[in-house]
Chains A and B, each alone.
Chain A
Amino acid sequence: MAQVSMTVNGKAASGEVEGRTLLSSFLRDQLMLTGTHVGCDTSQCGACVVHVDGQAVKSCTMLAMEADGADVATIEGQANADGSLNVIQQAFQDHHGLQCGFCTPGMVMSAAALLKENPKPSETEVREYLEGNICRCTGYHNIVKAIMAASGQDVSAIAAE
């Protein structure tokens, strides 16, 4: 067992972990930040995406010890300071970009990373960026629409509700 310390959503966090403990397990089981989800075991689905030092990372594919000293952001820290939904979260609600909600934390974290590096992505760019995030409910239509809307683009021409 080893001691790890990191900043999570702006607060200091630490715990004892085994060498094999994944960052996703540390967040979920020790910090009780259960918004980060695990939907596969091959680093494909992206439900576990968090930000580590500003980079989108699949937390099921990183050891907790590798994040020692890092600045970690999870879905729990994404809302505005007053508790209201941030721009991306609000766009997901406005455009019905989620159904069961299980892939949603990873989608929101990936969307935030995308918009940071590409503030006005095209539809094709959004779809290609989301290659590592699988959603089984929405058919992606409204997720893509929500992310484009969150970037400030007019999505009224994109079909339906």
Chain B
Amino acid sequence: MPKDGGIGASSKRREDVRFLTGAGNYTDDINMHGQAYVHFLRSDIAHGTITNIDTSAAASMPGVVRIFTGSDFEGVGGMPCGWQVTDKHGQPMQEPAHPILAQGKVRHVGEPIAAVVADSLAEARDAAEAIVVDINELPAVVDMKAALQDGATKVHDDLDNNLCYDWGFVEENKDAVNKAFEDAAHVTSLELVNNRLVANPMEPRVAVGDYARGTDESTLYTTSQNPHVIRLLMGAFVLGIPEHKLRVVAPDVGGGFGTKIFHYQEEAFCTFAAKACNRPVKWTSSRTEAFISDAHGRDHVTKIELALDADNNFTAIRTETHANMGAYLSTFAPSVPTWLHGTLMAGNYKTPLIYVNVKAVFTNTVPVDAYRGAGRPEATFQLERVVDKAARELGVDPIALRRQNFITEFPYATPVAVEYDTGDYHGTMDKLEEMGDFAGFAARRAESEKNGKLRGLGVNCYIEACGIAPSNLVGQLGARAGLYESATVRVNATGGLVVMTGSHSHGQGHETSFAQVVAEMIGIDENMVEIVHGDTANTPMGMGTYGSRSIAVGGSAMVRATEKIINKAKKIASHLLEASEADIELKDGAFSVAGTDKSVAWGDVTLAAYVPHNYPLEDIEPGLEETAFYDPSNFTYPSGAYACEVEVDPDTGKVTIERFAAADDFGNIINPMIVTGQVHGGLAQGIGQALLENCAYDENGQLLSASYMDYAMPRADDLPMFDVDHSSQTPCTHNPLGVKGCGEAGAIGSPPAVVNAVVDALQSAGKDVTHIDMPLSPDRVWAAMNG
């Protein structure tokens, strides 16, 4: 039976009411008294030397408050990178300076050169048009492999070359892996591109800086997934403002998908300019600006090889990837192709030997960083494509080949340094076979053929690492931050609770699902619990929301803090009930003495905590407020199996998704409705990557897809209804809720299913097509069929 409330209930989202009535409070809805507006003049050239910036005409235009250029930021820190990767020789990555406004050179289209602050946005824009910038254009570095050739133009003159790092993992296994390939009965290899994407949350980024002269306090309102991280990075490394003089607020945020994790120049600029101009300064990104300034995602070029023995057991995997960093290192960019990618190369399989090589490359393009899944979609895509290709080469059933090589015993230590705590890969595949009605596929294919269409079925598995992450481990791996999470639980005198979390909700529904957990623990109505997030002034230091970490790490902190509350409340109850603390039980919001009918209500205990007339003041303090920080001991490992059925129109190459089934194992689930919605959204983004989306540059570094006219976002009529199941549940063994996280699964698991299905469709028509690079747009599919 579905529950009415608490853990496992599909409680309706309380945040919906404000969003449905236009009462949300997004950053662009915030307007400060006396606010000025900034417009950034951005480079329309990918690579060049700035020889002159003349702002004199612009400065005298109506409404202009002040014009800033790079020279205003000499001595101010640049944008910091939060992760230092060590290369295969033990050397640190090459790390270029990243100025707030361009200094001397421009390195990508969209790089801000000057900033006009004016009384109105229109005046700021008008004045920006009157700024004269002279740039000596240099050859643009766009192609990653060309960028690494001797004599290639350097993106950064002060670096040795365009190679950020050359990473080998696990370097000690390299010789054994090579030997396994020499001994293999069969080797399947595949070269592929993981296409560059733009996250495109529907709310463009916004920053509002404010400065209080009387108290020397700065406030930044920003569209961020992690306000505390922004406060730390911007305060400590960029502007030199101590935390107690800097407040960062991320109110309602209209989607993030990774690209709102990072600290951006515009945030630092607005905070800096508010003080310099002594008035609030607001920036609202246009969509075109978003395309040329939000960090992009993916953009890997990979060769993967899979070795099998004579019995079709996987014996080794070897990969070589070029990963695009863009022109500068975005906040967490170096970690994505390495520790979030190489560590997942075992997938769901007991392959004993794995070697991953990644060359990260600077190019004259927008910086690339985490986008929904971040490294794990890239790992899953190449692995599940090469396994599918191997099955076709060997003439075996792709599902049978996967099942034969599944990891079945847990915990399982992979050869790429992670330990899966739980999972049941046969279980999710069993569920998928049931949902996908594979037995009926032949009849559906025949029906499609009657209509002149080719039908294909593609299946794949995935595993991901969520709940990022054990701080001591990521510290060893180069993270310049801890990755714990925090919660403060404040119980009010009349029994209601406020939970202040360091994580952030930007569509995930935390205000509802987090309240369900606390309500369940105490046995009270969900509506007595309020979740507060997004403001460094009223939440404990936390690392924010990304990597499907909020319930696994943030939820765990909330559980620990609530446990402390319950323990203290039991002490108070034992005093009120004149009973031993060991005999006090909490059930349905009342404390009772075991084996008696004596009890005291939750509200009486909370009132006693704040009106301590009859209270054990000699033993415990008044009040009822506790904080916990939770640092996970391991990642969590959600997994699943996905199936996609497509129809291909052989005349046009157009692919349509006819059926999509997703069987996931997320461990325990707090709100099934929200979890299902997260999977739907992930699937849409994964299918978007597979069929539609492509961030394209020309050879001069011009972005060809900088608007929704050119970048194909998935629309309602591009997608089917999805069949989603999460009844396979192997709870996480190392966090108190047994949860694994669900935010990225759909985006990780779906691209290989789509491509496998299209290859299946084309091969069914006798076409010798083994791979097509994403997106599988009609022209690419048609060319592959007729190539």
Task: Give A contacts to B, CB under 8 Å.
Answer: 18, 20, 28-29, 33-42, 44-45, 47, 74-76, 78-79, 85, 89, 92-94, 96, 98-105, 108, 123-124, 126-128, 130-131, 133-145, 158-161
Q: Which residue of A lies closest to B200 (CB)?
A: A136
Q: How far is the CB of A61 from chain B (nearest CB, A)?
A: 13
10 smallest CB-CB distances across A and B, nearest first, come from A35-B22, A101-B19, A102-B254, A139-B684, A100-B507, A44-B708, A99-B507, A139-B680, A75-B22, A34-B29
- With A40-B708, A41-B288 known as contacts, the answer to whether A47 contacts B202 (CB < 8 A) is yes
Answer yes or no: B24 CB below 8 A from chain A CBs: yes
Residues of A within 8 A of B697 (CB): none
Other-chain contact of A134, B26, B288, B682, B715 (Cβ < 8 Å)? B715
A75 to B21, CA, bound (A): 6
- B20 touching A93, Cβ below 8 Å: yes
A55 to B674, CA, bound (A): 33
Stretch of B102-110, B138-146, B392-400, B719-727 that contacts chain A: B719-727
Q: Which residues of B658-684 are within 8 A (CB) of A?
A: 672-674, 676-677, 680-684
Residues of B within 8 A of A96 (CB): 12-13, 673-674, 676-677
- With A40-B708, A41-B707, A44-B708 known as contacts, the answer to whether A142 contacts B715 (CB < 8 A) is no
A102-B24, A103-B202, A141-B722 are known contacts; what are 9 more A-B pairs with Cβ within 8 Å?
A34-B22, A35-B22, A39-B287, A101-B18, A101-B24, A102-B255, A127-B716, A138-B677, A142-B677
A76 to B29, CA, bound (A): 14
- B201 touching A102, Cβ below 8 Å: yes
Residues of A within 8 A of B288 (CB): 41-42
- B723 touching A79, Cβ below 8 Å: no
Answer yes or no: B122 CB below 8 A from chain A CBs: yes
- With A20-B122, A85-B17 known as contacts, the answer to whether A160 contacts B723 (CB < 8 A) is yes
- A40 touching B287, Cβ below 8 Å: yes
- A93 touching B721, Cβ below 8 Å: no
- B680 touching A142, Cβ below 8 Å: yes
Residues of B within 8 A of A79 (CB): 21
- A134 touching B21, Cβ below 8 Å: no
- With A134-B202, A136-B681, A161-B673 known as contacts, the answer to whether A93 contacts B13 (CB < 8 A) is yes
- With A137-B507, A138-B677, A144-B721 known as contacts, the answer to whether A100 contacts B253 (CB < 8 A) is yes
Residues of B within 8 A of A135 (CB): 202, 716
Q: Which residue of A lies closest to B678 (CB)?
A: A99
Residues of B within 8 A of A92 (CB): 16, 20
Other-chain contact of A137, B12, B21, B681 (Cβ < 8 Å)? B681
Q: List 12 A-B contacts (CB under 8 A).
A: A28-B28, A28-B29, A39-B254, A41-B287, A98-B19, A101-B254, A102-B254, A124-B717, A136-B713, A139-B682, A142-B677, A161-B677
Answer yes or no: B99 CB below 8 A from chain A CBs: no
Which residue, of B203, B674, B709, has the highest number of chain A Cβ atoms within 10 A? Answer: B203
- B672 touching A131, Cβ below 8 Å: no
A140 to B22, CA, bound (A): 20
- With A101-B252, A123-B721 known as contacts, the answer to whether A78 contacts B202 (CB < 8 A) is no
- B22 touching A76, Cβ below 8 Å: yes
Residues of A within 8 A of B12 (CB): 93-94, 96
Q: Which residues of B1-18 are within 8 A (CB) of A?
A: 10, 12-13, 15-18
Answer yes or no: B471 CB below 8 A from chain A CBs: no
Q: Which residues of B380-438 are within 8 A (CB) of A?
A: none
- B716 touching A133, Cβ below 8 Å: yes
Q: How far is the CB of B579 from chain A (nearest CB, A)?
A: 43
A130 to B22, CA, bound (A): 20
Answer yes or no: B204 CB below 8 A from chain A CBs: yes
- B16 touching A139, Cβ below 8 Å: no
- A159 touching B716, Cβ below 8 Å: no
Residues of B within 8 A of A28 (CB): 28-29
Q: Which residue of B lies closest to A94 (CB)?
A: B12
A103 to B719, CA, bound (A): 18
- A159 touching B722, Cβ below 8 Å: yes
Answer yes or no: B194 CB below 8 A from chain A CBs: no
A58 to B509, CA, bound (A): 28
Q: How many A-B residue pairs have CB under 8 A?
A: 199
Interface residues of chain A: helix, strand, loop or mixed (majority): loop
Residues of A within 8 A of B200 (CB): 136
A12 to B22, CA, bound (A): 19
Answer yes or no: B538 CB below 8 A from chain A CBs: no
Number of interface residues of B (CB under 8 A): 61
Residues of B within 8 A of A44 (CB): 707-709, 713
Q: How far is the CB of A110 from chain B (nearest CB, A)?
A: 10
Which residue, of B252, B717, B723, has the highest number of chain A Cβ atoms within 10 A? Answer: B717
- B202 touching A100, Cβ below 8 Å: yes
Answer yes or no: B685 CB below 8 A from chain A CBs: yes
Answer yes or no: B506 CB below 8 A from chain A CBs: yes
Residues of A within 8 A of B714 (CB): 139-140
Q: How far is the CB of A108 from chain B (nearest CB, A)?
A: 7
- B507 touching A101, Cβ below 8 Å: yes
Q: Which residue of B lies closest to A104 (CB)?
A: B19
- A130 touching B715, Cβ below 8 Å: yes
- B26 touching A102, Cβ below 8 Å: yes
- B680 touching A35, Cβ below 8 Å: no
- A45 touching B509, Cβ below 8 Å: no
Q: How far is the CB of A92 from chain B (nearest CB, A)?
A: 6
Other-chain contact of B10, A35, A137, A159, A161 (Cβ < 8 Å)? A161
Residues of B within 8 A of A35 (CB): 21-24
- A138 touching B680, Cβ below 8 Å: yes
Residues of A within 8 A of B10 (CB): 161
- With A99-B509, A139-B684 known as contacts, the answer to whether A85 contacts B20 (CB < 8 A) is yes
Q: How far is the CB of A28 from chain B (nearest CB, A)?
A: 8
Q: How far is the CB of A147 from chain B (nearest CB, A)?
A: 10
- A98 touching B715, Cβ below 8 Å: no
- B202 touching A42, Cβ below 8 Å: no
Residues of B within 8 A of A127 (CB): 715-717, 719
Residues of A within 8 A of B681 (CB): 99, 136-139
Q: Which residue of B lies closest to A158 (CB)?
A: B721
Q: What does the 1/0 interface line of B240-268 toward A look like (CB < 8 Å)?
A: 00000000000011110100000000000
A128 to B716, CA, bound (A): 7
A23 to B19, CA, bound (A): 21
Q: How far is the CB of B693 from chain A (nearest CB, A)?
A: 11
- A99 touching B255, Cβ below 8 Å: yes
Answer yes or no: B527 CB below 8 A from chain A CBs: no
Residues of B within 8 A of A144 (CB): 716, 721
Other-chain contact of A37, B203, B717, B721 (Cβ < 8 Å)? B203
Residues of A within 8 A of B255 (CB): 99-100, 102, 136-137
Residues of B within 8 A of A104 (CB): 19-20
Which residue, of A79, A93, A105, has the highest number of chain B Cβ atoms within 10 A? Answer: A93
- B721 touching A99, Cβ below 8 Å: no
Q: Which residues of B484-515 are within 8 A (CB) of A?
A: 506-509
- With A85-B17, A131-B717 known as contacts, the answer to whether A100 contacts B506 (CB < 8 A) is yes
Residues of B within 8 A of A158 (CB): 721
A134 to B713, CA, bound (A): 8
Answer yes or no: B567 CB below 8 A from chain A CBs: no
Residues of A within 8 A of B252 (CB): 100-101
Answer yes or no: B91 CB below 8 A from chain A CBs: no
Other-chain contact of B17, A29, A93, A160 (Cβ < 8 Å)? A93
- A33 touching B19, Cβ below 8 Å: no
Residues of A within 8 A of B23 (CB): 35, 76
A29 to B31, CA, bound (A): 9
Answer yes or no: B56 CB below 8 A from chain A CBs: no
- B257 touching A136, Cβ below 8 Å: yes
Q: Which residue of B lies closest to A101 (CB)?
A: B19
- B709 touching A42, Cβ below 8 Å: yes
Q: Which residue of B lies closest to A83 (CB)?
A: B21
Residues of B within 8 A of A126 (CB): 716
A143 to B721, CA, bound (A): 11
A50 to B234, CA, bound (A): 38
- A131 touching B716, Cβ below 8 Å: yes
